[in-house]
Structure 1
Amino acid sequence: MSHAQLLISYGQAFVAPDRRLHRSSMSVRFPEAPLLRAKGGCAVISDSISRNTMAKQAGDISVRGFLADYFSTPDHWDVKTSATRVLRALNSWCYSQSQHVKEGSFVSSMSAMVFRGREAHLFHMGDTLVFRLRGAEFEQLSRDHVTDLGGYRYPSRALGMDGSVDIDYTHIALKQGDLFLFTTQGVRGTLLPSDYVRLIRQDASDLDAACERLANEAKQRAQERGYGGDQFCFQLVRIDELPEEVTEHPGQLYGDLPIPPELAPGERLDGLEILAVLSRTAQSRVYRVRDVHSEREMVMKAPSPELSLRNAYLEHFLLQQWVVERVNSPFVVKVMEPSRPRRYLYYLMQHIEGETLRQWAERHPQASLTQRLDIANQLGKAVQALHHREIIHQQINPDNILIDPHGKLVLTDFSACHMRDGEGHRHSGELLRQIGFNEHTAPEYALGDSIGRRSDQYSLASTTYWLLTGALPYTLTPNRLRSHTDLEELTYRSARTTNPEISPELDDALRRALDPQRALRFRRMSEFLHALRVPLGRLPNREESRQEPRRFWQGVAGILLLLLVLSWLLR
């Protein structure tokens, strides 16, 4: 009989008086083919280091986040690339969220095993435990990263503990009948290796029952030793069948999908009729298309036909769709699913009826400051939505922003987007250099310096400055810089000289967000956006706010004094 695909069984058991307060979380997901063949299946366990109400949330977020994002990574990524990118992005998100909570944190130990074909890939951080039972051999596959403090063992490496994370990676050949056990550090000191083997082998046909036996025995041993046994969890995964050995040819680096040829209006591709050519650049082609079956209009983006050998850009092209799919914001364009399988390399986005911000500004020269600030606010929300998912846009400018007939803004074009993964961001500027700088590009790109969220802050502020004044903040555009000494030539031109309606406070906020030195800009984007959200950009005058209550009570005191004098005179 031919084993067409990998087959597994699994079981789970928790020991907890209240499952909602359990610090651990675990899950197994084995999708249907063809996703199973492309990405494999996953078994994950996490254990929060917190001991409060946030602990359960931290454990659940790490497990759900990994499973959701891993299976949506591009098919051409191998297992190690996919899992590592997802874990680094998840680590950055957990770490940033932990900075904003007063009690507890989003820090958790985590082990994720991906089963694909005849191999397993283990990714591990912290002190969660993964064992393999093969025959009578019981072996720990994970390493304990712990520190002893005052008799307690704490993880010395975990998800969300630091801005960057060191991930243990182990590659394992599978055999039919292999059993993998996932549990947490709390089980230490309760069961011996012989206990695990005995309790699992007692009846391995029912893995849920086997996990229950492990949980009950561990709880009993813990109580005999005089410590709590209410935080145990066990997960067993058994390899029931393996696919036949297949010698996979690497094929093209990006799968077997060819780059679409040059297309013209009226032509069709995968059931999509080309309605118009929206853009032709050295890197890509953008078309407005209509699905001939659903009549739905969309935008198709494909690599330029002459880029067939430029694999660095093609790899990033496939990353774009995955990046945009992770963002859920009304101010960021959405990726659309095709109604039939793709035979060419492209992705689809929603079609926005509207015009670019540059076109809007040309057609509305008399637009009020309030209208322009409203658009700037919407753009700020779009950029924040990207940053919340650890994505840097890198190309914010008036030509990548659409305004619909109702005045709603949508940020588009992710040709240069970069995913922050804790490994530094200097290399990401190379892609933007290949695509091309513009007058709103932050100075650090031209100088080859490290980039980050504050680089997007500069582009947002520069675009806002242009929207409010119709001019640029510097005589020498930053994209023309050649050395760090050229930074001295960047002298900020007050926005109020062009548009007197702009308040001094808003002008100061623009000046700071546009500082040539990245470190001197606002530390958080929200600080800059606060200035844009105040009506007409007017921040409250602190001296006036202090004077108002003083004047009120002075008035009250004056009236009381007048009444006192009148009562004395009338006596």
Structure 2
Amino acid sequence: MAHAQLLVSYGQGFVAPERRQHRSSMSVQIPDAPLLQAKGGCAVISDSVTRNTMAKQAGDLSVRGFLADYFSTPDHWDVKTSATRVLSALNSWCYSQSQNVHEGSFVSSVSALIFRHRQAHLFHMGDTLVFRLRGAEFEQMSRDHVTDIGGYRYPSRALGLDGSIDIDYTQLPLKQGDIFLFTTQAVRGTLLPSDYVRLIRQDASDLDAACERLANEAKTRAQERGYGGDQFCFQLVRIDELPEEASDHPGQVYGDLPIPPELASGERLDGFEVIQVLSRTAQSRVYRVRDTHTQRTMVMKAPSPELSLRNAYLEHFLMQQWVVERVNSPFVVRVVEPSRPRRYLYYLMENVEGETLRQWATRHPQATLIQRLEIANQLGKAVQALHHREVLHQQVSPDNVLIDVHGKLVLTDFSACHVREVDGHRHSGELLRQVGLSEHTAPEYALGDSVGRRSDQYSFASTTYWLITGQMPYVLTPDRLRGHTDLEALSYRSARVANPEVSPALDDALRRALDPQRGLRFRRMSEFLHALRVPLGRPRERDWQEARSDSRRFWQGVAGILLLLLVLSWLLR
């Protein structure tokens, strides 16, 4: 019988005066199924240069950061996409942090080997070393990126060394019994290939003991040659069992789950009874369902039945689920884990009893400016939560958010959401143009220009403008643009004309967030949100007048009492 999953063993060994003083870091993470099947297992090693005062912090950060972020990437991303995006984001963070420290840096060499199915994927930059022992053959898998400066060898590539990143990527077929060795440049000049093979094969059943033998032998050889032997580390990973041979057909990517058939009220699927059909579009179906076992009401979203073979949309559908699962905000709907195994492709969300923002505005025409701004701030926090996960919503509008019975806003629709490229490129907006533009869509979508977080800022500002005025900021809405020359027709209409309660400062903030030119809007969403929150903390003009009137009456009363006391003092003389 073929094995269903990959089985891996590993061991580690250090030589250092104190573990906390080591400038290298390493780790192996083998998750449980089904994450092991989706993302595989991972072994990482990092090492910083000798003269870096922050070497330990840099090494630990690169290893922990990579493992945490890699296993949090969407399940439908392949290994190369996931690892390179994580390394690119980690590189940008390390490089920016290094600019803010006076001594040392967050620069380190990194080698990461990911084992998935019957393949290994090596990502490497710098001078860390990865070898493979297959039978009696001992071969270096990584390539040294080093340069000589003043007699010292420094990495010519490394994590955090530059704002851009160049990663060596190698895909290796696995065989049962393969052993991979991870170590650092410090071992150069101590052990020969024959030494590695002998010391590992001496007792390969105990990989921790094999690493200790390597470390002790390297230390002894180094001391014999008259140089320091106190910074050695070794990590061994052995492939014990491989999963069965399988082709990468699309069904595997999506867990071999079929798309649900068309459902109507009263019908059941996987123990869920359809209470109401909430939405039917060309791409998806949304149902309000009840779990027949727990009687809990939830919302089920599934791909449209006629899109069974359109795997590009299925990939986007799974990305929607990933967004709901990873974004943690009280203003973004939460995913619900099914209590039973799924037999069809769908995901469940908590049921929000409420109405759309458009319906709420229609039912509450007398709502104050403060009440409307409170709702706008909740929507802004929801969009911010997506941006923190590098997700663009792309379709913020009054019809895509709900107000529950307690007046809290919840963002529930992710039909056009997109994960931003971490290497600086921006999505073209093609997905949104397929789904359909709205009057709140930023102009760059209609014109086919690059988009980003400020595009969501525009849609959010447009929705806020509509919420407090009942109108649109431009006579010609962006969804009607036909070319760049039409941008001249976008003349901002002051919100104060439709709602005199809007202060000049708030109007100016709306005007800037709604600028047709993306680069002229607020640089960060937080700046715009701050401008919206300022009116919430200011007393209204009437309150100021009442406070001044009360103060005047108080001091008039004090003055009257003092005058009376003065007159009495004269009469009693």
Calculate the TM-score normalised by the size of structure 2. Answer: 0.84
Q: Deviations over 1:330-356 (max 9, x none)?
A: 222222211122221211112222222
- 1:29 Cα offset (Å): 2.9
- Aligned to 1:322, the other structure's residue is in SS state helix
> Who wins on radius of gyration, i.e. which is larger?
2
- Output aligned runs, 1:514-553, within 5 Å: 514-536=514-536
1:144 is aligned to 144
Which is worse superposed, 115-124 or 409-418? 115-124
1:469 aligns with 2:469: yes
Identity of aligned residues (%): 77
Over 3 Å counting, the alpha-carbon distance change for 1:314 and 1:191 in structure 2 is same
Q: How many residues get paired? A: 533
2:67 to 64, 67, 72: 64
Q: Deviations over 1:69-97 (max 9, x none)?
A: 25x613xx5xxx24423540453365257
Instruction: Give the letter for the 1:399 counterpart.
Output: D
Instruction: Give the letter for the 1:73 counterpart.
Output: D
- Aligned to 1:59, the other structure's residue is in SS state helix
1:495 aligns with 2:492: no
2:88 to 72, 87, 91: 91
For residues 399 and 296 of structure 2, what CA distance do their matches in structure 1 show? 25
- Aligned to 2:286, the other structure's residue is in SS state strand
For residues 248 and 391 of structure 2, what CA distance do their matches in structure 1 show? 33
- 1:206 Cα offset (Å): 1.0
Which is worse superposed, 153-162 or 55-64? 153-162
- Output aligned runs, 1:225-304, within 5 Å: 231-245=231-245, 251=251, 254-304=254-304
Q: Deviations over 1:419-448 (max 9, x none)?
A: 122456555411111000111111111111
Q: Is the 8 A contact 2:257 2:344 kept in 1?
A: yes
1:73 is aligned to 75
Which is worse superposed, 120-129 or 483-492? 120-129
For residues 458 and 537 of structure 1, what CA distance do their matches in structure 2 show? 24
Over 3 Å counting, the alpha-carbon distance change for 1:259 and 1:145 in structure 2 is same
1:433 aligns with 2:447: no
- 1:153 Cα offset (Å): 4.7
Over 3 Å counting, the alpha-carbon distance change for 1:108 and 1:331 in structure 2 is farther
Over 3 Å counting, the alpha-carbon distance change for 1:491 and 1:29 in structure 2 is same
Q: Is the 8 A contact 1:11 1:207 kept in 2?
A: yes
Q: Is the 8 A contact 1:17 1:230 kept in 2?
A: yes
2:171 is aligned to 171
Which is worse superposed, 395-404 or 431-440? 395-404
1:406 is aligned to 406
- 1:45 Cα offset (Å): 2.8
Over 3 Å counting, the alpha-carbon distance change for 1:57 and 1:375 in structure 2 is farther
- 1:246 Cα offset (Å): 5.2
- Aligned to 2:298, the other structure's residue is in SS state strand
For residues 150 and 406 of structure 2, what CA distance do their matches in structure 1 show? 62
Instruction: Give the letter for the 1:282 counterpart.
Output: A
- Aligned to 2:382, the other structure's residue is in SS state helix
- 1:302 Cα offset (Å): 0.8
Unaligned runs of 5+ in 2: 540-573
Q: Is the 8 A contact 2:45 2:63 kept in 1?
A: no
Over 3 Å counting, the alpha-carbon distance change for 1:432 and 1:351 in structure 2 is same
Q: Is the 8 A contact 1:429 1:451 kept in 2?
A: yes
For residues 209 and 449 of structure 1, what CA distance do their matches in structure 2 show? 59
1:180 aligns with 2:177: no
2:568 is aligned to none
- 1:226 Cα offset (Å): 6.8
For residues 197 and 364 of structure 1, what CA distance do their matches in structure 2 show? 78
Unaligned runs of 5+ in 1: 540-571
- 1:149 Cα offset (Å): 4.9
CA RMSD of aligned residues (A): 3.0
Instruction: Give the letter for the 2:324 counterpart.
Output: V
For residues 100 and 403 of structure 1, what CA distance do their matches in structure 2 show? 40
For residues 192 and 65 of structure 1, what CA distance do their matches in structure 2 show? 35
For residues 361 and 317 of structure 2, what CA distance do their matches in structure 1 show? 30
Which is worse superposed, 501-510 or 14-23? 14-23
1:307 is aligned to 307
- Output aligned runs, 1:195-234, within 5 Å: 195-220=195-220, 231-234=231-234
Q: Deviations over 1:205-235 (max 9, x none)?
A: 2101111222334445556667665554321
2:365 is aligned to 365
Over 3 Å counting, the alpha-carbon distance change for 1:248 and 1:358 in structure 2 is closer
- Aligned to 2:194, the other structure's residue is in SS state helix
For residues 125 and 480 of structure 2, what CA distance do their matches in structure 1 show? 44
Over 3 Å counting, the alpha-carbon distance change for 1:282 and 1:44 in structure 2 is same
Q: Deviations over 1:284-330 (max 9, x none)?
A: 11111122222222211111222224332222111211233222222
- 1:163 Cα offset (Å): 6.3
